[in-house]
Amino acid sequence: MPASRTLKLAATGTLAGLYSGLFGVGGGTVIVPLLVLWLAYGEREATGTSLAAIAVIAAIATLVQGAYGNVVVSKGLLVGGPAVLGVLAGTWLQQRIRTETIGLLFALLLFAVAIDLIVS
């Protein structure tokens, strides 16, 4: 792997970790767009790679947040359990729609979140 590509992946991970620690987001909102735009990943490959990174980020972030007393495990499990069903359904759906549609839906989601943050 060329050094410039390795540096871009490391920068992507650093930004995702920073956003995860600061805002509780980072994987999907930072990694996916940067993998697609900066490293020319396909939508599906970017999503899968992001999910792999999120598993590592979430595990460490949970431990650090737990050290500050910010983790309510029972509520996390209550949210996480149904999320497993959602990820299965979302992955099934992602494999059946055009990649251009995936990109458009993701852009619309980010736009809606940005508007909500500005207005709120």
pLDDT in tens, the chain (120 residues): 789 999 999 999 999 888 888 887 777 888 999 999 999 999 899 999 999 998 998 899 899 999 999 999 999 999 999 999 999 999 999 999 999 998 899 889 889 989 999 998
**Amino acid, single-letter form, for residue 19:** Y
H/E run at residue 102? helix 99-119
Output the pTM of the full model: 0.81
pLDDT for the residue numbered 106: 85
For residue 83, the model assigns a pLDDT of: 92
Residue 80 pLDDT = 93
> What is the Cα–Cα distance from 82 to 87, expressed in whole angstroms?
9
51 to each of 39, 55, 99, how far by Cα in Å? 16, 6, 17
Contact 31, 48 (CB under 8 A): no
Task: State the amino acid at position 80 in one-letter form.
Answer: G
- Is the separation of the CB atoms in 83 and 55 below 8 Å? no
User: How far, in Å, CA of 41 to CA of 107, rounded?
Assistant: 16
